[in-house]
Amino acid sequence: MNTRKTFWISFGISMIGLMLFLSTPQAADKMEEAFRNSVFPNDFGPTTINVSHYPKKMQAYYKVFLKKCSKCHSVARPINAQFLELTPQGEKIAKKDDPIIFKDTDVWKVSPVIWDKYVHKMMAKHGAVITKKEGHEIYEFLVYDSKVRKTGAKTKEWEKQRERLLKNLEEITEGL
Ligand code: HEC
């Protein structure tokens, strides 16, 4: 048998094997699960923030954030995240003044360490090149920005935007 023929025969057998594998329910479940885990509602939202009214320092940190947090996914992922970091004292005040932000953790996930945890998690990922200083600046920006865009006078607007993203995701993954 010539090598070309052998190649096509083994190629054919591998393809049949692959098709059989993909048609097993476990493989299909695994693929669906992988797909669902890789789809974030956040990704379907805006990819920029209007920072023109932010303090100069935060405007500078925003640039670091845009550069460093767009390498593996779009910055839409952090921009549209439900995360909101408040100090325990800030949380106490919000429970009186802004109780709506504790209504649904898919819209506002309030914690005293949430951005700290996620910035560290991202910095530790393979391929991330973020210095300690940059990480700290990004962290400060995210804490500040989340308060501005997701609380106080902006609660209703944020709720609407986040709910629209969650609805989009439901449509995209319908039937899975
Ligand atoms: C080296 C690649 C990489 C870089 C750089 C990176 N990310 Fe990620 N990010 C990921 C991956 C992979 C996921 C999905 C899995 C996970 O959550 O760990 C993710 C998910 C996220 C999520 C969604 C988490 C959730 O569970 O809802 C947020 C928010 C996020 N990243 C923020 C950031 C921020 C902020 C930065 C910049 C400091 C950043 N990412 C930089 C790889 C990266």
- Give Cα separations from 110 to 68, 122, 142, 147, 159 (angstroms): 24, 19, 13, 11, 14
Count how many Cα atoms sit within 13 Å of the Cα of residue 15 in the half-sphere of its side chain.
6
User: Is residue 73 within 8 Å of residue 149, measured between CB atoms?
Assistant: no
Task: Encode pLDDT of 79-119 as tens digits.
Answer: 999 999 999 999 999 999 999 999 999 999 999 999 999 99
The mean pLDDT of the chain is 91
Mean pLDDT, residues 53-65 taken together: 98
- Cβ 107 under 6 angstroms from ligand 1: no
| Residue nearest atom 37 of ligand 1, based on CA coordinates | 69
The pLDDT confidence band at residue 1, using thresholds 50, 70 and 90, is low
Residue 66 alpha carbon to ligand 1 centre in Å:
13
What's the pLDDT band for 57 if we cut at 50, 70, 90? very high
pLDDT in tens, 21-51: 667 777 778 877 777 677 889 999 999 999 9
162/41 Cα distance (integer angstroms): 8
Number of neighbours of residue 119 by Cβ within 10 angstroms? 25
Residue 129 has pLDDT above 70, yes or no: yes
Q: Which of 48, 70, 57 is nearest to 122 (CA)?
A: 70
Mean pLDDT, residues 60-88 taken together: 97
Q: How far apart are CA 128 and CA 119, in angstroms?
A: 11
Per-residue pLDDT tens digits for 154-169:
999 999 999 999 998 8
Taking CA atoms only, the protein residue closest to ligand 1 atom 39 is 69
Q: Residue 70: is its pLDDT beyond 70? A: yes
Cβ–ligand 1 contact at 77 (below 6 Å)? yes
Confidence of residue 148 (pLDDT cuts 50, 70, 90): very high
